[in-house]
Structure 1
Amino acid sequence: MTKTVKKPVIVCVDDEVTILTSLKSELRKAFGELYRVEIAEGGEDALELLAELMEDGCEIPLIISDYIMPDMKGDELLRRVHELSPKTLKVMLTGQASIEAVANAVKYAKLYRYISKPWEDEDLRLTITEAIYSYIQEKELAEKNAKLLEMNYELECLTRQQAKLIAELQQKESHLQALNESFLRFVPLQFLQLLEKSSIIDIQLGQQIQQEISVLFSDIRDFTTLSETMTPDENFKFINSYLSRMEPAIIENNGFIDKYIGDAIMALFSGEADRAVTGAIAMLRNLADYNTTRTKPDRPPIKIGIGINTGTLILGMVGGKSRIDGTVIGDAVNLASRLEGLTKQYIVPLLISERTFRALKNPENYHIRLIDRVRVKGKLEQVAVYEVFDADPPELREGKLATNSYFERAIFAYHNSDREAAVRLLQQCLQLNPEDTVAKMYLQRCQ
């Protein structure tokens, strides 16, 4: 069923039928059949008509009213019309209206215009045409404003939804970043990079790569004895305090910690072996700073041993379905651990292998001396062991440099079974540098 479109209504109010007939005729000439024209012969009739039209859903763009009517003045009628239909434009016909009446109509009824009686037909048509045009313009503007408000509201809703989504995404991103940072504390970023992976979620069991890597092992001397004097809580606080000072030295030299084993550290350095040696020296210097805070009987200074070896290792992921871990496999790992253990025997803090020594890009930047050749478990050939003493106390370091010629000849004589020459040279070393523990050890071997 087709819905009938109702025409807009123009209401004419006057107590003289001839005036109403004339108005209706002029409106027909101006608008043809575009508008429906309704008439009322007084104010009360007009208000009843207006109420019926509004109840019927009719649009009333214009009302034209006489001023002098028996039951109600025109300004009063238009005021009441304005209360009922504020958007309807009001035109008042007057021949006797006072300035005060017109002013009241303007003030309280938003009078659009008044026309003096008798009117000129052209003036009347022009006035009502302008009024209708003004009404249409205001209506279109109101519709556009309403549409704009609706769009603004929708945009505001979308903006709020978008802001909420952005906030949720940022929260999830922060959570994921926190998770990723947490995961990276277990599987370092450098480990992922060596496997050519950008994220831990890309890691799969069995993935591996073969590469030349320098392995560093460090351990606290007599930690078992030290830990027995502390409570479990004190043990963990001490370990974490110590490790937090060692970690930066490794990271700042482009290494990463593969794992903590109690108080021990296993760190890996890809690329130049110099990184591992420089990192180890930095660890010992950080330890010296840390020991300045440990001067009480219940907080004695601590000593550590560090061993470094360089070699081709297999780096990858091992484990099972429910638990995997990153690790390195190869003989180079075992030798690095063995060198760390030898620091106890020679009573020195830092030993490196011949492979590491030969892999150094700038060996002249370090204070290094050959101290022994040892046979490693599972190997037939002896391995040369070098001491790096850059982090020694200044007096001890200068003493080793001053006696280096005696020391090298003493080691050569010892390994060539010339004990007499070795003893003489070692005694000369100790006379100049009595704190040289390696020279003391060799002298004891000779006697």
Structure 2
Amino acid sequence: MKFFVFRSIRTQILTSTTLLIVALISATVAVWAKSESTLYREEKLNDAKIISNVLSYTYSNEFSEENWSQIRINLNLLMRENEEIVYVLISDSSQDHQIVAASPSELQNNYIPDVVPLNITETALKTDKSPHIIETFILRDIYFANKLRGKRGEQVMEVAADIRRISGKKLGKLRIGISLKKVNNAVTNAVNQALIVGFVGLNVGWICAYILAHQLSDPIRRLQISVAKIANGDLQHSANIYNRADEIGALAISVDEMSTALQVSFSRLQKTLESFEKFVPDKFVSVIAPEGIENIDVGIASTRKMTILFCDIRGYTSMSEAMTPMEIFLFLNDYLACMGKAIDESGGFIDKYIGDAIMALFDDEATDSALKAAILMQEVLELFNYDRSRKGLPIISVGIGIHRGTVVMGTVGFTNRMDSTVIGDAVNVASRIEGLTKQYECGILVTESVVKSLSHPESFALKLVDESVKVKGKDAPIAIYELQVSHG
């Protein structure tokens, strides 16, 4: 038996260990990166709040006096002293938020700066929260003193604070963009350090896991081979695992005991299944016990469209009155055996015996098999009658009725006594059609639904007997056909 490497215990242990270590490394990197990011962001956040608060109060006087020149000089000094500041904007509320002072200076006199998304500007101008802090990104390269201060796409933290008089009147808005480059670099460094530590741990763990897997995989592989042989039917096989006092040795002993017990259980189970199949056909079991015979319960049912065949011996009552009970018993067994074989060979299965009557079902999409079964039943009946005539016994004739329709297959009864059954209007119609064979003196009668469901109607000799016959229990009349059998 071939075993693939990726299915071995060794590979599973190594894979599990690797995944565990990778998961730990990922968690460590995530926590470490989150911690570093939070730490640096809080630091930048505090710095931004301090700067915005100081500047908003500092510029309130100059703003009131419209001393824009001094404000612009101060902004340039601020940019030179703090390289992490990418831009500073001051807008005048009385002039529809026109930018009256900015660094870099090319942003002055604009209403909407082109360095950050529009929604960031709208939020900063509308919000009453001061200071208002939000993370965003730069839309274009920003230069200050002929040096690149911020690259397009770079993350920044924008702090927006109100500039107010001492009385509280709002004069304008101060907006400062602070680069998060150092924060991202710090996070990257933290991730790299965590990866180095994780790589070392991964190698150490992998080596230890390999040694452990090697010690476990060989005996388990031999045990797996033994179990596979037992599963394939070699119940005489025993596990060749010796000199082990651990769980694997105990498992080997259990496997040997299991093999012995399975021999006994399997023999009993096989006999039970063979006996059960004689009472309930396989196709019926698949419906009433979809989860196994051991899970059969009352009330399990399935609706499906099937072909129903009824067969009954004509004059059986008068014939049986002239026979002893044992003679009737032997006669029925011989008769039902040859009829049942014909049904089975045609792909049908017998649902039940009702005295001398037979109710058979065909689960095919087409009805050809049911008609073939009826023809074969008439043929084997000729042989059956031939043997009886040689013994000086009276011959018999049967009537067969076939109908196709929707039925319900399931179990009925109660917990301690249940039975499989098929019910539905189609069953009643099939029984009535069989009864009409006497009235129309036909051996086999089929309904229009059977004829319409034939895959190869040209293979059968069908003759319309009555295009509108009213069956007992059925309001609408139906057409019936005789299936003619050639006698060779």
Could you tell me the TM-score, scaled by structure 2's length? 0.46
Structure 1 portions without partners, runs of 5+: 1-149, 152-157, 395-447
Q: Residue 383 of structure 1 aligns to which amino acid in structure 2?
A: I
* Match status 1:363 vs 2:463: no
Aligned 8 A contact 2:289 2:296 in 1: no
Q: How does 1:375-390 map to 2 (within 5 A)?
A: 375-390=470-485
**Cα deviation 1:4-59 (Å, max 9, x = unaligned):** xxxxxxxxxxxxxxxxxxxxxxxxxxxxxxxxxxxxxxxxxxxxxxxxxxxxxxxx
1:131-178 deviation digits (Å, cap 9, x = unpaired): xxxxxxxxxxxxxxxxxxx97xxxxxx999977864542232121111
Q: Match for residue 258 of structure 1?
A: 351
Over the matched positions of the two proteins, sequence identity in percent amounts to 45
> Which entry has the higher C-alpha Rg, 1 or 2?
1
Other structure's SS at 2:388 match: coil
**Aligned counterpart for 1:249 among listed residues 323, 327, 342:** 342
The secondary structure found in structure 1 opposite 2:279 is coil
Runs ≥4 in structure 1, deviation > 3 angstroms?
Answer: 158-168
Instruction: Name the aligned partner's letter for residue 204 of structure 1.
Output: D
State the distance in 2 between where 1:278 and 1:330 align. 24
CA spacing shift, 1:198–1:273, aligned 2, 3 Å: farther
1:379 shift after superposition? 2.3
Q: Does 1:181 align with 2:274?
A: yes
Relative to structure 1, is the Cα distance of residues 250 and 199 closer, same or farther in structure 2, using a 3 angstrom cutoff?
A: farther
1:195-248 residue CA offsets vs partner (Å, 9 max, x unmatched):
572632232211111111001110111111221222211111110011110111
How has the CA–CA distance of structure 1 residues 171 and 273 changed in structure 2, closer, same or farther, with 3 Å as cutoff? same
CA change 1:356–1:174 in 2 (3 A) is: same
Give the counterpart of 1:227 among 308, 311, 320: 320
User: 1: distance between equivalents of 2:439 and 2:352?
Assistant: 25
What does 1:21-420 correspond to in 2, within 5 Å?
166-195=259-288, 197=290, 199-271=292-364, 272-296=366-390, 298-372=392-466, 373-390=468-485, 392-394=486-488
Q: What is the rounded CA distance, in whole Å, between the counterparts of 1:198 and 1:281 in structure 2?
A: 36
1:166/1:368 CA distance change after superposition, 3 Å = same
Deviations 1:47-74 (A, max 9, x none): xxxxxxxxxxxxxxxxxxxxxxxxxxxx
The amino acid across from 1:333 in the alignment is V
The aligned residue for residue 229 of structure 2 is none
Structure 1's 299 and 163: CA in aligned 2 closer, same or farther, altered over 3 A?
A: farther
- What residue identity is the alignment partner of 1:173? F
Rate the CA distance shift 1:248–1:198 in 2: closer, same or farther, 3 A. Answer: farther
2:358 is paired with a residue whose SS is: strand
8 Å Cα contact 2:289/2:295 also seen in 1: no
Cα-Cα RMSD: 3.0
* Whole-Å separation in 2 of the counterparts to 1:362 and 1:223: 35
Do the aligned partners of 1:214 and 1:276 also contact (CA within 8 Å) in 2? Answer: yes
Contact map agreement 2:288 2:411 (CA 8 A) in 1: no
How far apart, in 1, do the equivalents of 2:320 and 2:390 lie? 16
Task: Assess, with a 3 A threshold, how the Cα gap between structure 1 residues 301 and 358 changes in structure 2: closer, same or farther.
Answer: same
Distance 1:319 1:328 in 2: 13
TM-score (norm. length: structure 1): 0.50
Q: CA deviation at 1:322?
A: 1.7
Query: Do the aligned residues in 2 keep the contact of 1:220 with 1:302 (CA within 8 Å)?
Result: yes
Decide which moves more: 290-299 or 200-209.
Answer: 290-299
Bigger RCO of structures 1 and 2 (CA < 8 A, at least 6 apart): 2
Cα 1:370/1:163, change in 2 over 3 Å: same
Deviation at 1:393, TM superposition (A): 2.3
**Aligned residues of 2:297 and 2:411 also touching (Cα < 8 A):** yes
Distance 1:367 1:172, change over 3 A: same
Contact 2:445 2:483 in 1 (8 A): yes
Q: What CA distance in whole angstroms lies between the structure 1 residues aligned with 2:313 and 2:369?
A: 22
Q: How many residues align?
A: 244
